[in-house]
Amino acid sequence: MQAQPFEAAIFDLDGVIVDTAKFHYKAWKRLAGELGFAFSERENEQLKGVSRMESLDLLLQAGGITEVTPERREALTSRKNEWYKEYLATLTPADVLPGVTNFLELLRSCGIQTAIASASKNAPLILEKVNIRPLFDVVVDGNSIVKAKPDPEVFLQAARLLGVAPAACFVFEDAAAGVEGAITAGMRVVGIGDRGLLACAHLTITSFEQLEPVFLLGHIGVTGHTGWGGRPDEQ
């Protein structure tokens, strides 16, 4: 299957650009502790890439807590978010994950457009704290979408704002929900993290330093080699 030329790169934020995933886990774990149960890192994997309310539902399910009123749910998510923002206050440009800045600069030097597609409503704050906003043409976050991942809305909106067809986009994701949403959107996906958890991604790497950027660009089509265009089982 011949891949369409690569015109845009769309990135999740938490755990892909900046290691804020650890702050989410710390805040959710703290909330679970207040509610009287333990919450493991493995359970936290299910929360990656989904909305705040959906994350709360998964947390409560893990703790066996049912029949929570809407008002109580709002209060719990607000408490979690306040803790999370406290942790975000410590962010600096040094918290951008290894290899990310160089990769973004390389993409832009090749004429590739870039976007953030995140479920986080705190995305503008995070990008400001780490001083990386100028490297993105478009930012789509939880403030401007209705449906959370795995719905493809956030990715399709990013592509629309960039003026690029979904098939010409690559998505960089660390969450299974995000990988699913990007594939549903008709985009190609690079998973960042555990290959077992991101099995549907077209390619999986552990960090942007794992591969030489020029090799990665060639692999996904920037230098004229379309590489792979289908799912792993279609190659």
> Is 48 annotated to bind ligand?
yes
- The per-residue pLDDT for 216 is 59
pTM over 0.85: no
- The per-residue pLDDT for 106 is 87
> Is 81 annotated to bind ligand?
no
Rounded Cα gap, residues 199 and 187, in angstroms: 15
Tell me how long the chain is.
235
Residue 22 CB: number of other CB atoms within 10 A? 14
> Is 137 annotated to bind ligand?
no
Rounded Cα gap, residues 183 and 171, in angstroms: 9
Domains of the chain and CATH, by start: 8-19+94-234 (3.40.50.1000), 21-88 (1.10.150.240)
- The per-residue pLDDT for 153 is 97
What's the 3-state SS for the chain? CCCCCCCEEEECCECCCECCHHHHHHHHHHHHHHHCCCCCHHHHHHHCCCCHHHHHHHHHHHCCCCCCCHHHHHHHHHHHHHHHHHHHCCCCHHHECCCHHHHHHHHHHCCCEEEEECCCCCHHHHHHHCCCHHHCCEEECCCCCCCCCCCCHHHHHHHHHHCCCHHHEEEEECCHHHHHHHHHCCCEEEEECCCCCCCCCCEEECCCCCCCHHHHHHHCCCCCCCCCCCCHHHC
The answer to whether 19 is a known catalytic residue is: no
Could you identify the residue written with the tokens 């956030």? 154
Residue of 104, 145, 76 whose CA lies nearest to 18: 104
Residue 10 CB: number of other CB atoms within 10 A? 29
Tens digits of pLDDT across the chain (235 residues): 455 678 999 999 998 999 888 899 999 999 999 999 999 999 998 887 777 898 999 999 999 998 899 999 999 999 999 999 999 999 999 999 999 999 999 889 889 999 999 988 889 999 999 999 999 999 999 899 999 889 999 999 999 999 999 999 999 999 899 999 999 999 999 999 888 878 899 888 888 887 655 555 665 555 443 333 334 334 3
216-225: b (≥16 Cβ within 10 Å) or e: bbebbbbeee
> Is 33 annotated to bind ligand?
no
Token code pair at residue 90: 């410590």
Residue 106 phi/psi, 5-degree rounding, is -65, -45
> Is 173 annotated to bind ligand?
yes
- The per-residue pLDDT for 67 is 86
Rounded Cα gap, residues 185 and 140, in angstroms: 15
Out of 12, 95, 141, 151, the active site residue is: 12
The answer to whether 14 is a known catalytic residue is: yes
> Is 49 annotated to bind ligand?
yes
